[in-house]
Amino acid sequence: MSEFVVSLMQKTPPDIEICELTATVTDTGVEITARSPLIADFVASKNVGAHKGEEYVSNFRGLVFYSLPSRLGIDINGHSIFSDMFYNARNIDRGDVRGGTEPNMIWIRTKGLADGVKLVFPQPAHIPADLIEYLNRSMEKARIFYMKNIRKTTIKATLTEKING
Amino acid sequence: MGKINLVGLEVEGGWDGSPCKRPFATTKIIPDHSIDGRTLISDNPLTCTHIGEIVSLPMPALRAATDPWIDTHWPQHANNTCGFHIHTSYASMKDYAALTTKHFLTKLVEVIIEKGKTLNLPTTHYLFKRMVGNNPFTMYNFDASNQLRIKQKSVGDRLRYGMINCSWGLHGTIEFRGYPTFETPALAKEFTNLYLDFIEDYLEEFSDKFAKVYSATLYIECGELRFTLRTPKEVV
């Protein structure tokens, strides 16, 4: 049984935290932080290959970003804020992988996810409606993401390991 | 140095003068459909030479800047349809966001009504009528979230007609639309300064309180997926 599955099974409810999202309004805009040590551990575990792991991390990032209310995601002065965000995300990735091998890349990326990925959207928000709406929407997407990807794979991996002894 | 960056004033009404000559050399009177008596029935139709709205250039949030502008440009004629709007901009988005809350408007209306009473304005004064919040051009209930994304004024779009208009996309400002065109420039100055001072005090007290962290956690409890949402205590 992999270390990830063991650690997941050893935890007693409600200790299993899947992810945490925070939103706050700062002097420069709306700051969003996404943190998921569980997904980071999962991706880093031996249950998923490098390619699949990358896909999970980017999917998780995607759900966090796309859950933003459209008014926070709309373009400013004709410049898409989503483009900016993904450009930044790509830059972070590039920085992470510089000189690294593929497994390292995943490790570094998932480390980011474990500690918290932070982005600032340079626009004000309507308090509290926009932030609550964002968190509700992204939690629902995170739930679907977990059910569709992590839980399914975890169960499959556990069964496989049980069969194989 | 205050939290307000710049101020812009807009006043609707009527000005005397010759039809062939603008009342102000550098400021143009813009036609305004909200005061032409067709959208909103007026109690005292304007019959003067020049009718419409004039808009100031952005100026510092100082009495020394706003008072002279009001003295120079205040209209001689007004009725129930005429409004006086104040735009303010901010260096910090945290400050801007604090003013999108209903909490801000509620407190502001209380302060304005109190001031009106202190000045012994009659109960039938346009100010008190507007503070009720059912004037179609300055509604108490407004959709701040959607106001923020408006980038272009369009005829028939009533979204911006809140007592507060979060005109971030249009001008990068918060617009207060609750004041009537006061009958004298002295009253206009009194209430302009009241509004600007109130914003400074409000932001000093509430800006940080509203900008606290909102967070949500997804977790497994007893085999079931659950999530919690945490908001600051101050948010009502």
Between chains, do B235 and A126 touch, taking CB under 8 Å as contact? no
Query: Could you give the CA distance from residue A30 to residue A130 in angstroms, rounded to a whole number?
Result: 10
Quick check: A89 pLDDT over 60?
no
Tell whether A17 lies on the interface with B, counting CB pairs under 8 A.
yes
- Disruptive mutation site among B88, B89, B92, B93 for chain A (greatest number of A CBs within 10 Å): B93
Task: Tell me the three-class secondary structure of chain B, residue by residue.
Answer: CCCEEEEEEEEEEEECCCCCCCCCCCCCCECCHHHCCCCCCCCCCCCCCEEEEEECCCEECCHHHHHHHHHHHCCCECCCCCEEEEEEEECCHHHHHHCCCHHHHHHHHHHHHHHHHHCCCCCCCHHHHHHCCEECCEECCCCHHHHCCCCCCCCCCHHHCECEEEECCCCCEEEEEEEECCCCHHHHHHHHHHHHHHHHHHHHHHHHHHCCCEEEEEEEECCEEEEEEECCCCCC
Domain edges within chain B: 4-230
Option in A29, A122, A135 nearest B229 (CB): A135
Which pLDDT does position A112 carry in this prediction?
Answer: 60
- Disruptive mutation site among A33, A127, A143 for chain B (greatest number of B CBs within 10 Å): A127
pLDDT, tens digit, 9 for 90 and up, residues A118-151: 666 777 888 888 888 878 877 887 788 788 777 7
Higher-pLDDT residue of A110, A90? A110
Query: Could you give the CA distance from residue B33 to residue B157 in angstroms, rounded to a whole number?
Result: 13
Which pLDDT does position A159 carry in this prediction?
Answer: 62
Neighbours of B113 (CB within 10 A): 14
Which pLDDT does position B59 carry in this prediction?
Answer: 96
Tell whether A152 lies on the interface with B, counting CB pairs under 8 A.
no
Higher-pLDDT residue of A51, B184? B184
Between chains, do B93 and A14 touch, taking CB under 8 Å as contact? no
Between chains, do B97 and A23 touch, taking CB under 8 Å as contact? no
- Disruptive mutation site among A19, A21, A126 for chain B (greatest number of B CBs within 10 Å): A126
Which pLDDT does position A74 carry in this prediction?
Answer: 34
Q: Number of residue pairs across A and B with CB atoms under 8 Å?
A: 122
User: What is the pTM (predicted TM-score) of this model?
Assistant: 0.79
Which pLDDT does position A150 carry in this prediction?
Answer: 74
Q: What pLDDT tens digit does each residue of chain B (236 aa) get?
A: 699 999 999 999 999 988 888 888 888 888 877 776 667 777 888 888 898 999 999 999 999 999 999 999 999 999 999 999 999 999 999 999 999 999 999 999 999 999 999 999 999 999 999 999 988 889 998 888 888 878 887 776 788 899 999 998 889 999 999 999 999 999 999 999 999 999 999 999 999 888 778 888 888 877 778 888 888 765 54
